[in-house]
Structure 1
Amino acid sequence: MTRNCNENGLWTNPICHPTNEWFSLSLPPHQSPQRNTNPILHGTTAPSSTMANLTTISLSSTSSLWYHCTKPNSLFNLRHSSPTSRTITSMAAATATKVIPSIIVGGGRVGKALQDMGGGGDLLVKRGEPVPIDFPGPILVCTRNDDLDAVLQSTPQSRWSDLVFFQNGMLEPWFESKGLGDADQVLAYFAVSKLGEPPVDGITDTNPEGLTAAFGKWGSAVAARLQAGGLSCKVLEKEPFEKQMLEKLIWIAAFMLVGARHPGATVGVVEKDFRSEVGSLIEELASAAAAEKGIVFEKGIEDRLCAYARAVSHFPTAVKEFKWRNGWFYSLTEKAIAQGKQDLCPLHTAWLKELNIVQ
């Protein structure tokens, strides 16, 4: 990605910036493609045993939280500033959360940040190295999407059920092709500017409680690790998680494509100067995704996605990792045309052709 967030940088941001790893944005579930409505994010949170250790803090208009756990038993350090007041759920102390030792696949910014959140008992496995069969706990996969086949080959099949994927984009077709079923996933909305630096939570003005979400049998363990690092994380069931995943996918596909039509435009420029274009595309893609998956998004999807764009306004735009992002929507177009039906994403298709991304 042209300085787009790569899968390894979970920002899950649609963009993986070379100096900023934001873990993308999946916004609240159940949205119908309507605009200018108040967003509501539903979903289950971490187990009560974990939530009991959480403290809600209201910050003034001149400050926000940036927690960094320097040692397993240290308190979080407060710094960073923000023009808006926000309410953040955070850990009162690192000692309140038990972090399960894990295998971390990928030694990039995200993998290193996850390792720093642990208590020193994690095992870091770099790309190409075998994943041991006798190390219990979750296996946190923090590589690029295109490296996933290699990761699977390096992991004993008996441990596949312990894999937790932090990648951006639409992974379901790949999961199905590998027989992974409802694999554990994390929608990560935090940024890691440089290797070794503490992550910064991705909080928006419409979702001050944070957007990061985890799904699967290791969901609570992942949430505990992130909370130990001062980050927000909720644990969701399959349906609400899928809706948030699709919102994140829509954000990446829409903002990157509109930005590519206006060379040099950042995510913030797209949100500010080309709101009509991106709003129309968001509505179109949300409608197509809802029809394909048989779901209903919550109202206010455009507002939520634009709020996220404002939170990462300096990020550059470019259509990258087509197979995992815009390619999923184009596959819906190809399927409809093959069946003699109307294209559900005509604007998306026209702009892809305009940029010679598809023929």
Structure 2
Amino acid sequence: MNLVNLSAPFELVGRQAQFQRITQVLARDGDLLIVGVPGSGRRTLVRRAAQEVGAAIVEVDCIRVTDGQRFVQLLCESIDQTFQSAATQALMQEWIANEAMELFVLNSEASSRQRLKPMRTESPETLWQAFEALLHLLQQLAELLGGRVVLILQSFPHIRSWDRNRVWETFLRKEIERQTQVSYVLVATIAETSLHPDEPGNSLETVQLAPLSNDVVAAWVQAVLHGEGLTFDPRSQALELFVNAVQGHLGDASALVRRLKSVRVSDGLIRDWHVQQAIQELLADLSMVFESLLMLLPANQTHLLESLALDPTDKPQSRDYIHKHCLSRGGSLQGAIAGLQHKGLIYGSEQGYRLALPLFALWLRQRLS
């Protein structure tokens, strides 16, 4: 059985079915929620699908959005970077003159290109008008191009950190249902699938990216290394070490294989110690990132994360596990589980609550042992 199309680009390996589905949704101007852990290839799949259907891509990283004003600024910047042709610039000039003169301006710069920028405002009403106007501008740009526009909202649930009453989110979800030529793609962690589908604006088609199977990862990495004149020593456990280290995680597999591609051995055989050395070098390079990540977590989430790294279980709520690791009972534990799931750091019950970033889990185990 053909487990994986090895001729496909790396980010599509093992994801061809999801890619086809995303492409079909965007081709019919649909909207979708794509969920998975960080490094699972969510944005890359959407970008490739948007390119496949000839859509212009506008992208906002919601982690960088700290309030409504920042949201407007980043959305404006992305629109400006995406639409630079003379025709779209002319449309934006006309749009400002007719609809948004007090909200936006096109400033000429040394590059001879005009840049779309929002007017500075402290008024919540004016800020809201600017936000509405930009979403309507996207529809007009799509109509002018006679094609499609895809608005990718990366880490979308993050806006709830400041949009406490979900005013901005509710309006966005209504726009998702109303607009016809702009496809909205919300990129989130798997925890986002727990939203009630009967709520307004939540009836998005959902594409979920689970970890790749070990067979897919093994077939892919062997094909990549073969192209470099390398192969895993069949008498060793090198391939098994690789597969166990990345556990189906696309980002970690990519990072580790880049290390192995630089290995220079006279007979072209990668042995156990080559893989082990590559893993240790990678963990050393990522150490500061992992340390910073831990520092940002509340104490109860850090404690639970470390417990799951050292002692994996599919029942962290069990009395024995709570007692063994001195975890808080009740709401505090459930809050820690939910918090880690929303951050994309652990899977839910369907994957046995294991850590979602395998190299991070390995680093934690080494750090704590």
Q: What is the TM-score normalised by the length of structure 1?
A: 0.25
Which structure's residues are more often helix, by fraction? 2
Q: What is the TM-score normalised by the length of structure 2?
A: 0.24
Q: Greater RCO between the two (CA within 8 Å, min separation 6)?
A: 1
Report which of the two structures shows the higher radius of gyration computed on alpha carbons.
Answer: 2
